[in-house]
Amino acid sequence: MPAPTHDSRVTERRNPRTVDIDLASPLAIVDLINAEDQGVAAAVASQREPIAESIALIEAAFRSGRRLLYVGAGTSGRLGVLDASECPPTFGTDPAMVVGIIAGGDRALRNPIEGAEDDPEAGAAVMDAHAVRAGDVVCGIAASGTTPFVRGALTRARELGARTLLIACTEPPASMRAVADICMLPVVGPEALTGSTRLKAGTATKLVCNMLTTGAMVRIGKSYGNLMVDLRATNVKLQDRAERIVMEVTELPREAARTLLARADGRVKLALVMHALHIDAESARRRLEEGQGVVRRVVPNAPPPVV
């Protein structure tokens, strides 16, 4: 009788609650997976302090003109690229401000690149290729906590003077902990399908990434209350959203809000300061610079209450 195999990584263990999933009806499969998902938010909440510390590091990087770079392989890499890709349309940022890097390059977003995650030298090389330096924050994403590509990237990032973060869904080995300034470890337990970390681990990772970029962007002034005011009206949907935000805050009719936005070069935040302080666009830019980009430091009143 063969000896049982044990893997120290929680993400690779079998889940005793789903051993009969292959016999389950569609509805039973839904219930099994949903039951597993119930613990994801709690696992993320257990990491509230390291996540908050990471937000502070990222905020400092942004304020000094530096970047956040996500690096991962497979699902983990795709989630980092996804979060980075959402920042320009959501927050009006330069695409270079938050960068997503996946082992195997952009082709790996749609096609598995066998062996890419196993090469620590490639991870190190991609840090050089992206000119990582002091002031940057590099966030490694490795659901299993062991991905060599990510370890190589974090090791090199540290050598270059960057601050390093790790998101993993299991306790990482000492070699990985040693190259991360902060570890965020939402341990969600074994997956419904053994080793399929696109499930609970992927969901937990997405929640953490949401917090990192949203938290840092809010801290540097990308919101006014809970309104996304640093978007730029670059398509029909965003134009409508921009106009509605200006209308809600200023109580102007749509046509007047549209005119104000035009004077503000389509920038909602600028338009709100111009209206509140009765100043032109250039004066509003200067006031926002003095307030480090935070509208509430320039316009102390809160947005109108939610009705």
> What are the pLDDT digits (tens) for 222-266?
999 999 898 777 789 889 999 999 999 999 999 999 999 999 999
Q: Could you say which of 86, 114, 121, 243 is catalytic? A: 86
Q: Which residues pair with 140 in a beta bridge?
A: 71, 166
As a whole-number percent, the residues of the chain with pLDDT over 90 amount to 84
As a whole-number percent, the residues of the chain with pLDDT over 70 amount to 98
Candidates 86, 71, 77, 67; CA nearest to 131 is 67
Q: Determine the 3-state secondary structure of 84 from DSSP.
A: helix
Cα–Cα distance between 157 and 68 in angstroms, integer?
12
Cα–Cα distance between 62 and 260 in angstroms, integer?
28
Candidates 158, 156, 210, 207; CA nearest to 181 is 158
Q: Report residue 160: phi and psi, to 5°.
A: -85, 0
- Examine the residue annotation and report whether 86 is marked as an active-site residue of this protein: yes
Q: Which residues pair with 102 in a beta bridge?
A: 72
Task: State yes or no: pLDDT of 213 exceeds 80.
Answer: yes
- In three-state form (DSSP H/G/I as H, E/B as E, the rest C), the secondary structure along 94-143 is CCCCEEEEECCCHHHHCCCCCCHHHCHHHHHHHHHHCCCCCCCEEEEECC
Q: Pairing relation of β-strands 227-228 and 223-224?
A: antiparallel
Residue 159 one-letter amino acid:
E
Measured CA to CA in angstroms, residue 107 lies from 52, 73, 113, 119, 240 at distances of 33, 12, 8, 17, 34
pLDDT of residue 232: 74
Cα atoms found within 13 Å of the Cα of residue 17, Cβ hemisphere only: 13
User: Please, what's the b/e burial string for 41-80 (b: 16 or more CB within 10 A of its CB; e: otherwise)?
Assistant: eebbeebeebbeebbebbbbbbeeebbbbbbbbbbbbbbb
Enter the DSSP assignment of 44. Answer: H
The CA-based angle 127-186-30, given to 5 degrees, is 115
Instruction: Say if CB 173 and CB 9 are below 8 A apart.
Output: no
- Examine the residue annotation and report whether 171 is marked as an active-site residue of this protein: no
> What are the pLDDT digits (tens) for 117-176?
989 999 999 999 999 999 999 999 999 999 999 999 999 999 999 999 999 999 999 999
pTM of the model: 0.91
Q: Could you say which of 117, 121, 171, 255 is catalytic? A: 117
Cα–Cα distance between 270 and 224 in angstroms, integer?
11
Give me Rg for the CA atoms of the chain. Answer: 22
Enter the DSSP assignment of 7. Answer: -
Domains located in the chain, CATH noted: 41-219 (3.40.50.10490), 223-298 (1.10.8.1080)
Task: State yes or no: pLDDT of 103 exceeds 50.
Answer: yes
User: Please, what's the b/e burial string for 117-126 (b: 16 or more CB within 10 A of its CB; e: otherwise)?
Assistant: bebbebbbeb
pLDDT of residue 3: 47
pLDDT of residue 6: 61
Number of other CB atoms surrounding residue 12 within 10 Å: 18
In the chain, how long is the greatest CA-to-CA distance? 82
